[in-house]
Chain A
Amino acid sequence: DAKTTQPPSMDCAEGRAANLPCNHSTISGNEYVYWYRQIHSQGPQYIIHGLKNNETNEMASLIITEDRKSSTLILPHATLRDTAVYYCIDPANAGGTSYGKLTFGQGTILTVHP
């Protein structure tokens, strides 16, 4: 079962930052935190991953707490096209000797409105 906890839904105004939290209190020292999103009627899409340091790419930023038990995905300027389900992936099964298995939870439904 997934070892992450996310709010079931969030709203965000277009152009504002969307901050999506995730708790992963059982994470161990070598496990990455991964985020994927799934737009309606499409397959999931990789967004970002991180281990200890904050990460940023062209899609989003990932802020990981110092104890690594929680993280926040930040979409700095949300657009209507960012409306999707956002999954914080169970880090225990996302790499290493687990052969890259992804264990998805329910995710957070982010709705960006005009």
Chain B
Amino acid sequence: EAGVAQSPRYKIIEKRQSVAFWCNPISGHATLYWYQQILGQGPKLLIQFQNNGVVDDSQLPKDRFSAERLKGVDSTLKIQPAKLEDSAVYLCASSLMGGGGSYSYNEQFFGPGTRLTVL
């Protein structure tokens, strides 16, 4: 099956500019996640969607970051305006379901990520 697709793979911008990332999850996956991974650290969840609704955005810097998943399929993550500390790899992942109500596990499948450099 096709994996999680992300674009662009690389992006270089000046601080205070805007940037958008796109993610197309695996077909049929209800849950979509955006992670930020700063160099040398593990990924950090920014936002989680269940279909087209937000489940968790507690760590999303909402003054500059926004994300949407309008039709419950693909998603965009936007940064406006960018800061130097936003330089990171932005990972998108998807899973069949998001858990909830039981301790069953559902595997997350990650895309290759978008490497953002803010100058």
Residue total for B at the interface (Cβ-Cβ under 8 A): 33
17 A-B residue pairings within 8 Å (CB atoms): A31-B103, A32-B103, A34-B105, A42-B110, A43-B111, A43-B113, A46-B108, A94-B105, A95-B106, A96-B99, A97-B99, A99-B99, A99-B100, A100-B97, A104-B43, A105-B42, A106-B41
What is the CA–CA distance of A94 and B76 in the complex, to the nearest angstrom?
Answer: 24
A83 within 8 A of B: no
Q: Does more than half of chain A's interface fall in helix, strand or loop, or is it mixed?
A: loop
With a cutoff of 8 Å between Cβ atoms, the chain B residues found around residue A42 in the complex are: 110, 112-113
Q: Does more than half of chain B's interface fall in helix, strand or loop, or is it mixed?
A: loop
With a cutoff of 8 Å between Cβ atoms, the chain A residues found around residue B48 in the complex are: 99-101
Quick check: A102 and B113 within 8 Å, CB to CB? no
A25 within 8 A of B: no
B4 within 8 A of A: yes
- In the complex, per-residue mask of B80-106: 1 if CB is within 8 Å of any chain A CB, else 0: 000000000001010101111111111
Q: How far is the CB of B101 from chain A (nearest CB, A)?
A: 6
Q: Chain A interface residue count: which class?
A: 20 to 34
- Which A residues form the contact surface with B (CB < 8 A)? 2, 30-32, 34, 41-46, 49, 85, 87, 94-107
User: Which of A31, A43, A97, A100 is within 8 Å of B91, CB to CB?
Assistant: A43
Quick check: A106 and B107 within 8 Å, CB to CB? no
B14 within 8 A of A: no
Given contacts A95-B99, A100-B99, 7 further A-B contacts (CB under 8 A): A42-B113, A43-B91, A43-B112, A85-B42, A99-B99, A101-B45, A101-B48
User: Which of A41, A43, A95, A106 is within 8 Å of B42, CB to CB?
Assistant: A106
**Which 4 interchain pairs have the tightest Cβ spacing?**
A43-B110, A104-B42, A100-B99, A99-B98
Quick check: B106 and A100 within 8 Å, CB to CB? yes
With a cutoff of 8 Å between Cβ atoms, the chain B residues found around residue A97 in the complex are: 99-101
